[in-house]
Amino acid sequence: MISKKVEDAINVQIMNEEHSSRIYMAMASWCETSGFRGAADWLYKQSDEERMHMLKFIKYLNDRGGNAILSPLGAPAPKYKNLLDVFEQVLKHEEFITAEINKLYEISLKEKDYTTGNFLQWYINEQIEEESTAHGILDKMKLVGSDKAGMFHIDKDLEMQAAAKVIDPME
C-alpha cells in the first residue's frame, strides 16, 4: 500500500503531466496556424508523449493501491511571439517538470517508498533527454537568428524528428 503523502504527490504529478500535454497541444496549434508545420508535428508528438507519461502515473498509482485523481487545469497560453519563444517556453516547462519529478523522488525516499523511487528513475532519465533536446533545438535557433531560410530548415528538421519518433505506450 502506498502512503498518503506519496499518493498525493503522484496525483500532483498526474496533473503536471496532463497540463504538459495541453501546453504542447496549444503550442502545436499556434505553430500550425503560423506556418511552422514541422514544429507543430513535433509538438503534437510531445503532447501525446506527455499524455502517455500521465497514463503511466495513473496506472502505477492505481496498481499500488492508491487512487489516481484528475484535477482541474488552467488554460495554456494560446499565442507566442515567434518560434524561438515557443521553444524557450518548452525548455522552461521541461525544467519545471524536472524539478517536480525530483520533489516527488525526494518524497518517496523520505517515505521509504523505494518501489516508487525505482519507478521514478525512468522519469528522471526521460527529463535529462527532454531538456537536452530542447537545448539542442534552441541552440540551432540561436545560430540562425532571424534568418527565415534557417528557420525553414529547422522546421523541416523538427518535421523529420516528429516522423521518426515512435510513442511507446508501454514506456
The ranges assigned to domains in the chain are: 4-164
Average pLDDT of 143-166? 92
- CA 55 and chain centroid, separation: 13
Give the mean model confidence (pLDDT) for residues 150-168.
Answer: 90
Residue 153, annotated as binding a ligand: no
Question: Is the pLDDT reported for residue 170 higher than 60?
Answer: no
Q: What is the spatial distance between Cα 143 and Cα 88, in angstroms, rounded to a whole number?
A: 14
The residue-averaged pLDDT of 75-88 equals 96
**Mean predicted confidence (pLDDT) in 90-96:** 98
Residue 64 has pLDDT above 80, yes or no: yes
| Element (DSSP H or E) covering residue 9 | helix 4-33
Please tell me whether 161 is known to bind a ligand: no
**What does the buried/exposed string (b/e) look like for 18-46 if buried means 16 or more CB atoms within 10 Å of the residue's CB?**
bbbbbbbbbbbbbbeeeebbbbbbbbbbb
126 is in an annotated binding site: no
State the average pLDDT over residues 75-93.
96
95, 25 contact by CB (below 8 A): no
Please indicate if the annotation marks 127 as binding a ligand.
yes
Look at the pTM and tell me if it is higher than 0.75. yes
Contact in structure between 25 and 47 (CB atoms under 8 Å): yes
Residue 53 marked in a binding site: yes
Task: Please give the grid coordinates belonging to residue 131.
Answer: 531538456
Pick the CATH number of 4-164 from 2.40.50.1020, 1.20.58.100, 1.10.287.1060, 1.20.1260.10: 1.20.1260.10
Distance from C-alpha of 2 to C-alpha of 60, rounded to nearest angstrom: 10
The pLDDT value recorded for residue 166 is: 80
Q: For 105-143, how does the pLDDT look when each residue is reduced to its tens digit (9 = 90+)?
A: 999 999 999 999 999 999 999 999 999 999 999 999 999
